[in-house]
Amino acid sequence: MTFGVALSVMAGNTICNVVAPAVAEAKANPIVGLRLGSRGEPVRLVQKALMAKGAYVRGGVDGVYGPATVSAVKSFQQVNGLQRTGSIDAATARMLDVSSVTVPSAWNYQGGFVGLRMGAGHDDVKAVQRALMNAGMSLVGGADGSFGTVTHNALVTFQRRQGLGDTGVIDQATARSLGLIGGGSPASPASSAPSGNALRQGATGDQVRAVQQAIVRAGGYLLGGVDGVFGPGTASAVRAYQIVNDLPVTGIVDTATARVMGVSLSGGGSPRPGNPGGSLQLGWRGDAVRNLQRALINAGVHVLGGADGVFGPATKSAVKSFQQRNGLPATGVADGATLQALKASNGGSPAPSNPTNGYVGLKQGSAGAAVRAVQQAIMRTGLTLLGGADGMFGPATTSALKLYQRTNGLGVTGVVDAATARVMGLAGSTPRPGDGHTPVGYPVYGERGVRVLALQTALISNRYSFAGGADGSFGSATTGAIIRFQQARAINPTGRVDETTARALGLSPMAAPAPPDTSSIKLSSFPVEGPCWFGDSWYAPRGGGRVHLGVDIIADHGKRIYASVSGKIISVVHDRPGSLSGNAVKLAMADGTYFFYAHLSSFENGIEVGTRVKAGAVLGRVGSTGNSAGPHLHLEVHPRGGVAVNPYPLVKAIDGC
């Protein structure tokens, strides 16, 4: 029989119990004093608490106190009126509700390999993890220095194969078998000098896709998703992966990096330069592609990822959109006719390089509608902006703007210059009309019903089609059509039905639909295997003008996801490039009420459309597929198949974290 120590951690309004291995408790609280460079389970607890409190940690819960965690801590401290040190002092720990955590002594391991066990966070853990990988064990997340469930399971498997028992603890015999002591040495990766078949920026194909999938599985953030194109976003993500796994930081996938990722470098994946003298198509790269992307943006066509010089699926989609609007064959290839039409739409020549308008010169300290328009332009590319489009140009906006400029090949100044305004589509002489505020009487994102039908019908009558058509559901497709309409009418492209947009579409105010009745909805089973963390993030702002219409339950990768009620599977969605939900499933009750589970890493066998399940049945595993910064379950509840309602009270009522 195994006994454990229960740790209570407050996340938002949710108390979560973490069961630690049965070891002696440490006297000191290791949370206070954490700072840049710290690693291990205490850091993971802080990161989970930050995310549960609404402070986004880029890269997710990885147990590494890097620049992303420092930034999140500073933001949390600023919001809560604390000194912005970026380190965890006593006051910050109290605000995060982690000041009284009692922890096992495994977290205070001092060295020597022998005695390492689950819960330890130490550089020696990296050596153990590398030795396990060299012995053929698979570790999701690589050598991250955190002795969690994945490392424990890999160690148990290794011990069983070697006839060493299955304790999950590094004893003398296990350390010798791994080459850590007794004349051996910790296994280390081979030389990481980039070889001839290394993957680098400009490469395309299945190998690049495998690398991107490995990054996403490890909880990394990948702008543009898994698209098989090694652009600046992938290079940045590779560098972050190398930092976390203590590899030389090159941004190139060499032999050592590939081995930690578990991918093969044999085969193709060669870059293809752009072809400035002819057609441009999927896989091309270079200045000709960058000029094409900027021309598309200037013509009012959204290019996800901006002008990065890489012709990936996002650019192909943008080219198709432009071709459809201009009566050209929608091939996705920028042929001579398409390039000529783009030139004509840009006035026959590039836009002037130094226009004077109400956006140029905006910088930290500025405020107002023009700043809000800049923030919305940044968020439409999928970049996260802490605080959303609030019209205040603070440090978060400066940081996001610099990343936007770098991604689009612009001068990285953190100030809105003429070139930045033009790429953002803000090149008018004054800020565009439309404040993005939806007045009473008009539909909002996530709504369903007659008001949405009226909006969609008006868009279609103005020749702005979108996936799904007039289905009465205000989702991402409808938002995209609104943005295209607003861009064409020189209205601030927010994706929301503000008063200016409503007038241009000829819409009249209508009564809001009655709020759905949730009194009959009761969850029979908590949806995620603990330990886990969640808070009330209903209607929090998201990129692209979206808002959050569910609850995010943060848990480790691979934790079970359960059916909260008995019902029938009505939809199964598989992850694809550009997907928001990733792997997802809809579970419906007899009255039409359905539950939407998103970002799964995998589905349980037999989970398919038409399958009937009982409450508590396993639907799949926690993951971070789709547009996700780290492993978690996104859960939505739609009473009688209608508009989503805040699921937090329903989940909180049977809190199983």
* Higher pLDDT among residues 100 and 196, named by residue: 100
- pLDDT for position 131: 81
- pLDDT for position 541: 64
pLDDT (tens digit, 9 = 90+) per residue, 391-423?
778 777 888 888 777 766 677 788 888 778 877
Flag whether pLDDT at 3 surpasses 50: no
Q: What is the mean pLDDT of residues 197-224?
A: 76
Residue 189 contacts residue 259 (beta carbons within 8 Å): yes
Q: What is the mean pLDDT of residues 126-145?
A: 72
pTM of the model: 0.37
Domains of the chain (ranges; CATH) run 5-106 (1.10.101.10), 109-177 (1.10.101.10), 206-261 (no CATH), 281-345 (1.10.101.10), 434-513 (1.10.101.10), 532-652 (2.70.70.10)
Mean pLDDT lowest among 86-90, 241-245, 414-418, 570-574? 241-245
- pLDDT for position 567: 95
Q: Give the CA count within 13 Å in the CB-facing half-sphere of 540.
A: 18
Residue 119 confidence class, pLDDT cut points 50, 70, 90: low
- pLDDT for position 264: 77
* Higher pLDDT among residues 120 and 253, named by residue: 253
Residue 426 Cα distances to 50, 154, 292, 302, 399, angstroms: 34, 53, 18, 13, 19
Cis peptide before 431 (omega within 30 of 0): no
Flag whether pLDDT at 610 surpasses 90: yes
The values of phi and psi at residue 348, to 5°, are: 80, -5
Residue 577 contacts residue 227 (beta carbons within 8 Å): yes
The values of phi and psi at residue 92, to 5°, are: -65, -40
Q: Is 594 helix (H, G, I), strand (E, B) or coil?
A: strand
Q: How much of the chain, in percent, has pLDDT values that exceed 90?
A: 15
- pLDDT for position 353: 35
Q: Return the C-alpha torsion angle 337, 338, 341, 347, nearest 10.
A: -130
- pLDDT for position 408: 64
- pLDDT for position 546: 63
Flag whether pLDDT at 530 surpasses 70: yes
* Higher pLDDT among residues 336 and 528, named by residue: 528
- pLDDT for position 190: 34
Determine the straight-line distance between the first and last CA of the chain, rounded to whole angstroms.
Answer: 23
Strand locations in 226-382 (E): 272-273, 284-285
What integer best gives the mean pLDDT of the chain?
A: 76
Task: Please give the Cα distance from 352 to 344 (Å, whole number).
Answer: 15
Residue 571 contacts residue 469 (beta carbons within 8 Å): no
Residue 560 confidence class, pLDDT cut points 50, 70, 90: very high
* Higher pLDDT among residues 196 and 205, named by residue: 205
The number of angstroms, rounded, from the C-alpha of 454 to the middle of its chain's C-alpha atoms is 33
